[in-house]
Amino acid sequence: MYQNTFEALAINTKLISRKKLSNEKWREIGCFFIKNYVEQLGKAEKAVIGHIKVLIELEDNSFIKLSCVSRDRPTNCEIVNTEGNSLEAGLTFNSIISELLKNKNIQCFHMALERTCSVYGLMTDYKETLPSEPKTEEDENETCFVCHEHHHDETCGHNH
């Protein structure tokens, strides 16, 4: 039997509003974000959603759990405490997707987050970082351009 290889992506970030938003508004924002992420995934024809989960942590121990398992199924949303307002929301994102390179998945996340922040006037502390190429032996043998020594795995302390 053929089984897809699923890649996991987990990201923690913070969303910040200029004014306090109701918990219901944060729920709307979470649903909008997942919808946009799924739309971005849809641009990659072969991408298969295993599971997408989002946890939004609000003030006063309130939180929202969102879950999506398919493009053609609605996002499941569970909100604890519909009352309350929050200026910031901690967003924990976890997706399991197959037939999509990790860099492309990160890009889909970034695009969805950027659009969500733009539409709702939010700021975020998220910085896109793509996995770097592994170091080669040649990289390890480069000389320090300050003291011209080989530092190998050690930090040279020359502040460069």
- Residue 12: pLDDT over 50: yes
pLDDT tens across 94-118, in order? 999 999 999 999 999 999 999 999 9
Comparing C-alpha atoms, which of 62, 61, 76 is closest to residue 31? 76
CA dist., res. 83 & res. 19, Å (int): 16
Looking at residue 1, its pLDDT comes to: 41
Please give the pLDDT value at position 160: 47
Residue whose structure tokens are 């302390």: 157
The one-letter amino acid at 80: V
Q: Are 8 and 94 in contact (CB under 8 A)?
A: yes
29 or 140, which is more confident: 29
- Whether pLDDT at 156 is above 70: no
Q: What is the pLDDT of residue 45?
A: 82
* Confidence check: pLDDT of 87 > 90: yes
Integer Cα distance of 58 and 109 in angstroms: 21
Give pLDDT, residue 159: 47
Does an H or E element contain 78, and which? strand 76-80
Domains of the chain, start order = 6-124 (3.30.70)
Longest dimension (CA), the chain: 62
pLDDT of residue 33: 98
